[in-house]
Chains A and B, each alone.
Chain A
Amino acid sequence: MSMHIANGRWVVWLSFLVAMLFQIMPLPDLVEAWRPDWLLLVMIYWAMALPHRYNILSAWILGVMLDIMLGAHLGIRALSMSLVIYVVVLHFQRLRNFPMWQQALMVASLICLHHLVIFWVQFVVGTVTFDVSLFLPAISSLIIWPWVFWILRRVRRLYKVR
């Protein structure tokens, strides 16, 4: 079994950076609750495409960075993102072969899991009230996932990321 040389690592991290920017970019109040989880979507894509390079620990690092960017309690998003990416990495082959609509549904349910874990830990460390709007990002992510997937696949092929 030959060693696989990583290629295009900077492309991946650049995509994470752009996703992080989208994640903290200001939005009008009306659509704020609908903000898709850009960072998690991009992370899910790379974990699906290259599960041996970008997996749970990369998700953990990104989660810590996101927590710091948002000024949230440290470790919450790190925990939820690593859990989600664990599920992705376990089933990456199945996920890859799903038709697009099924894949998008899976991604949406993963986003739901992400928000549930965040809510749950937040509930343990502080006071929060449950609100159904918690799951709005899952819907917007569902709609946006095919485009994210398409763009990132083109990027991956263009720069021969391995």
Chain B
Amino acid sequence: MKPIFARGISNQFRLTLAIILSVILIVANNRLDPVRKSVSSVLSPLQYIANVPGALLDWSAESLATRNMLAQQNKELLRQQLLMSERLQRFEHLRQENDRLRSLLGSPVHMDAKKIVAEVMEVASDPFHQYVVLNHGARSGVFVGQPVVDAQGVVGQVVQVSELSSRVLLISDVTHAIPVRVTRNDVRVVANGTGVLDELELKYVSKSTDIRVGDLLVSSGLGNRFPEGYPVARVMSLVKDDGQNYANVIAQPLAALDRIRYLLLIWPDEPASEALEDETAMILSAAKKAAEKAEVGE
């Protein structure tokens, strides 16, 4: 039988100890990143296991797709690739021109940054923040503060790294802010997250500032965190209330934050490796083939 009177340490003492330890953790939270990193490295296999059902579902959806669906998807992708490669050709020309102009001006030539594709793992996160977990970690060279983008625009930045996974804070989180500029007239502002997935707020915009609905905001590179020139958001509404000191500006992120699946991790300071350039060349040649095929088809 179990003893009726507990021996050893009393419950009150245990509780006091637990509370003291918790308070220490809460206060020292920001300095405990190494601890967090090592513990989450040990625990990250759990995340991979938790991800299995979703991955299985995806896999079965893929393997059960009919031939027709695949053919249709293939056709659509080929069409998109053709359009993209056309744009890429023009872009390549512009890039060379830009480099030449930059060298004439004596300003440093813009380098292509190293990037890798990461997949979002479907695991639950802290309900009070907007996080996604990626399947790349310190082993792939991911670091805290690293910018993350998707096909449409900036998604967020890495805030926690473990050995095999990392956690990204979305730009729409309340604690996130990103320096941006308006492409139309280079006005610089800061876009704060609001906690709502499709809303950013531009703070401290004076009423005389030239910002209009529909303006495109791109990262300005001023915080030394996000590289310059990535699209971030588009201004959706602008209210100039006489009772308030500043204009109330709401923008919508360009990245589809509610259904992100594949993301790009960017190393702004590392030049792109040869492999990636090869990849670009490969894409170009593949597109050329596709174009020829399309011509033959027609």
**Selected interface stretch from A7-15, A73-81, A140-148:** A73-81
- Contact of B272 with A by CB under 8 A: no
Determine whether the beta carbon of A75 is less than 8 Å from that of B23: yes
B218 CB to closest chain A CB (Å) equals 27
A82 in contact with B15 given A71-B160, A71-B167, A74-B36 (CB within 8 Å) = yes
| Chain A neighbourhood of B25, CB < 8 A | 64, 74-75, 78
| A60-100 interface code vs B (CB 8 A; 1 in, 0 out) | 10011100111111111011001100100110000000000
**B125: chain A residues within 8 A (beta carbon):** 70-72
The binding surface of chain B is classed by DSSP as: helix
* B21 interface residue per 8 A CB criterion: yes
Interface size for chain A: under 10, 10 to 19, 20 to 34, or 35 or more residues? 35 or more
The reply to whether B124 and A90 contact each other, CB–CB distance below 8 Å, is no
CA distance A75 to B29 in the complex (A): 8
The answer to the question of B67 belonging to the interface, with a C-beta cut-off of 8 Å to chain A, is: no
Contact at A71–B131, with CB atoms within 8 Å? yes
Q: Which residues of A contact B (CB under 8 A)?
A: 1, 4, 17, 20-21, 23-27, 32, 35, 50-52, 55-57, 59-60, 63-65, 68-76, 78-79, 82-83, 86, 89-90, 121-122, 125-129
Are A86 and B46 touching (Cβ within 8 A)?
A: no
Residues of chain A lying within 8 A (CB to CB) of residue B174:
126-127
Whole-angstrom distance from the CB of A118 to the nearest CB of chain B? Answer: 8
Contact B40 A68 (CB under 8 A): yes
Interface stretch of the complex, out of B49-57, B147-155, B247-255: B49-57
Chain B residues touching A, range: 35 or more
**Is the Cβ of A25 less than 8 Å from the Cβ of B175?**
no
Closest Cβ–Cβ distance, residue A9 to chain B (whole Å): 16
The contact of A26 among B3, B19, B50, B167, by CB within 8 Å, is: B50
**Given the contacts A78-B18, A79-B18, A21 and B11 also touching, CB distance less than 8 Å:** no
Q: Mark B159-198, 1 if CB is under 8 A from A, else 0.
A: 1100000010000001100000000000000000001000
Minimum CB–CB distance for B111 against chain A, Å: 32
